[in-house]
Structures are given as structure tokens and as C-alpha cells.
Amino acid sequence: MTETTQTQTTPDDAFRPYTPRSPEYRAAVEALRGLRQDLFHDAFAYRPLPPKRVDGPLRGRLSGRMRGYAAWSRHTVVAGAGAVAMLAALAGGEGGVTGPLCGLLALVPVLLTLVRPVGAFWVSLAATTASAVVGSYWSAWPWAPGSFVSHLTVLTVVAIRTRPRTAAWMWLLTAAYAFVAQSAFGWNDYGGDTPAMLVVSAFALLAVTVWHIRRDAAQEVTAQQTETAHERSRRTLLEERTTIARELHDVVAHHMSVVAIQAEAAPYRVENPPPELEKAFATIRENAVAALTELRRVLGVVRAEDYEAPDAPQPTLADLDALLANVREAGLTVEKVITGAVRELPQGVELSAYRIVQEALSNSLRHAPGAAARVELGYVLGGLGLRVVNGPAAHFPPKKSAHGAGHGITGMRERVTMLNGEMTAGETAEGGYEVTVFLPVTTAEGAA
């Protein structure tokens, strides 16, 4: 057996005590990292300003050509500000080639904000220096009139296109540039315009920052409202499905109980029934009881703890007259029209039809007070047609809560979808509202 010994060296710095960093140090490191990320990393990245959306309520009314012009309105404003900066440089009194050169140095950084916003800031500082070197406008330092307008425009546009932290860094760098230029190249006989630049730019960047904060807050509120509306709609949908399941549970449980009772009593209605018949009825009763038990076990989960099964059976279309009488007492003028041969439909279909009419009339009472309503029932070969329509409100309804908007329509659609039916709902040309439903019923179901 061979024994091998390995020697492992430990670096000297492994025994150095850990020195915690102070909060100030970490804050400075984070600040420098933010500065590098905002103004140095990919500073000249290509980020063109997209055209403005023209789907707003006001801009959407414009014609095709005017809408195209409106889409480029922001680009036009920036170009106009660049033209103002160029004219300010030309108005400085420079002669020869110097005037147009200073005007070009004032225009280029502004136009560059449309495609490379962060890079435009650095170009603006360079153009300011170049204008100060080649120009002879010595009444102000270090910004000539054209450079002053150009750099102020660049700061504002870049702040709008980026974020508030970038605006703060640009203002600090502008102040540092002004301090260096004023200290190193400023003489006492020169009038300094650094305070004016810093004060005006501070107010401009503060306004842009407030705009950013308000816009982000509005977007956050809109997102929360959308999410809340989605959750509210989903909760309403689940509640409506739970209600439907409870009602159908009561209907099916009633029928299964009737089957079990009739199967148990059937042998006693016949004298000397054969054993095969007694066995068949016993099997039917056992299956009905087992199905009823399983149904209660499965569908019992949809019942709330405080839910109590109704003593009376679930309503059908035979109870529609009582519903209309109650609605008339509440102040809604309503008439009923029936076409086709009235026949008994499956209880689930009749229950859903009753609930749909009930909800539609409730919506008429709630949203169109004083209006007249009409309930139409059409018994056709393939099923049942429903139409509930009301006229315009006689007077303005009270202010509605947003928490109940659209819940009745959701419940109707759930019931119609459950029965594989079709439904349309919308405003009428007269200013009222109409709900049209078709609930299919097969021949076997209708005969049952």
C-alpha cells in the first residue's frame, strides 16, 4: 500500500480580517455604478424617437393626412427648438464662417436627441466648448447664446426620453463642466451665465421629473385598475357558476329523489310482482340513491357554510307571471308575449330561462327607471327563444357603482353557455337595451 501526502497552501489574504464597508462607501459605489450605466454604457446607442400614437379621442378625429402629420409632432417640436438655437447662434453677431459654424454646432446636438439621446448630451458639451473656442461672443461664458438654448433643449429632451436619475446626473455634470470652465478659463471681465444655466435647467429638469412621476403613477394605477377589474370579473364569474351549480344541484337532487321513491314504491303497486321485477326496481333504487349520494358529495363543495336549500322547488317559466307582477309593483311597465305552442321544457332550461328574464328585468329597473319593457317567449321546434327589451330611461338613473357593472350580463352568458345556447346583448337604436337568447332543446329532452 502506498501512502500519498498532499500539501495545500493557503493564500495570505485568507487570514485578513473582514472589513465591513460603510454605508457611505456603498452609496458612492452605487452612485458611480448608476452614472456609468446611465451616461457611459452604450451612450451612443441608436434609440430613435417613435412616432406619436394618433388613436386618442381628439387626434383620432383628424383626417388621414393630418393624422400622419400629428404622428410626427414631437419630432417637429424638437427640430423647431434646434432651429431656434441655431438662430440664436447666428444672431450673436459672428461674421464669416464662424457664424454658420456656431449655428451648426447648436443645431446638431438638438437633432441628435431624436436618435441617440444620451450621446446628444456629450455632443452638446463638446459643441459648447467648440463654440466658445471658435466664437468671439465674450459677453457671456461659458455658454454662447446658441449653445445656451441648445444645451438647455438637449437636457430637457434627454430627460424626457430617459428617466429622472439620468436627468440628475446630466445636471451635475453640467454644473461640474461650468465650474471647470469658469474657474480655468473665465476672467473677471467676462460675464458668467453659469447661474442662469443651472437655475433654468434645474427648473426644466424638475418639471420633467414631476411629469415622469405622474406618468408612472398613472400607469401603475391603470395597471392596478385593470388587474382589479379582471379579478372582480373572475370572482363574479365564479360566484355565478357557484349559483348555477347550487340551483342545478337542487334540481337534479329532486329528480333523483323522485326516481328513488318511485322505484321503491313501484313493486307495491302490482299484485304478486315477479322476483325479476322486484330485483330490477331494487337495483334502480340502489343506483338512484348511490347517484344522489355521490352528487351531494361532489356538488356539496359549492355550497357556502351558511347556505340553506330552498324549501320551495326552483322556479320555472310557469312562475313568470308572478315575477312580472312583482316587477310591475316596482314601477316597471312590462308586457309578455308568447308565440308557439307552450310546452313543458327540461327543468334546467326553464330555470335558466326564468333567471335570464329575472336578471334582464332587474337591469331594466336599475339602469332604465321609468322605461317600458317587453318579454317575448318563442317556443320553437329546436328550443326556446327569449327576448327582453326595454326603452330609454324616462329620467337619469342614479350613479351606479363600478363594482356591479356587467355582472348580470356575465351570469346570463354563463347560463346560456352551459346549455350550448346563443346570446346577444346591446343597446337598441332607440336608446334602450335588448337581450336576445336562444336555448336549444333536443326532441328527446322536449318529450321528457
> What separation in angstroms does the CA of 340 have from each of 36, 240, 376?
80, 31, 11
Helices (H), 46-113: 64-71, 73-90, 98-112
**Does residue 416 contact residue 386 with C-beta atoms inside 8 Å?**
no
Task: Report yes or no on whether pTM surpasses 0.85.
Answer: no
Overall size of the chain counted in residues: 448
Helices (H), 266-307: 275-299
- Which has the closest alpha carbon to 416: 379, 386, 447? 386
**Does residue 204 contact residue 70 with C-beta atoms inside 8 Å?**
no
Asked whether the bond before 142 is cis by omega within 30 degrees of 0, the reply is yes
- Which has the closest alpha carbon to 386: 439, 317, 348, 444? 439
Q: How far apart are CA 71 and CA 68, in angstroms?
A: 5
Helices (H), 191-274: 194-265
Read off the pLDDT of residues 109-124 as tens digits, 9 standing for 90 and up: 999 999 999 999 999 9
- Which has the closest alpha carbon to 320: 249, 240, 377? 377
pLDDT of residue 404: 40
pLDDT of residue 402: 40
- Which has the closest alpha carbon to 375: 384, 383, 59? 384
pLDDT of residue 288: 78
The parts of the chain modelled with pLDDT lower than 50 are: 1-5, 188-189, 398-405, 447
- Which has the closest alpha carbon to 192: 125, 144, 159? 144
- Which has the closest alpha carbon to 323: 334, 337, 339? 334
CA angle 259, 263, 267 (to 5 degrees): 160
pLDDT of residue 407: 61
pLDDT of residue 401: 39
The residue with cell 386618442 is 56
By three-state DSSP, how is residue 333 classified?
Answer: strand
**What order of strands is seen across the sheet that includes strand 372-380?**
333-339, 372-380, 383-390, 433-440, 422-427
The residue with cell 379621442 is 57
**CB-count exposure of residue 418 (10 Å: 0-12, 13-18, 19+):** middle
Counting DSSP H helices and E strands in the chain, the numbers are 13, 5
Residue type, 150: S
Grid cell in block for residue 403: 363594482
Residue type, 10: T
Q: How far apart are CA 447 and CA 440, in angstroms?
A: 13
Handedness of CA 267, 268, 269, 274 (dihedral sign): positive
pLDDT of residue 107: 94
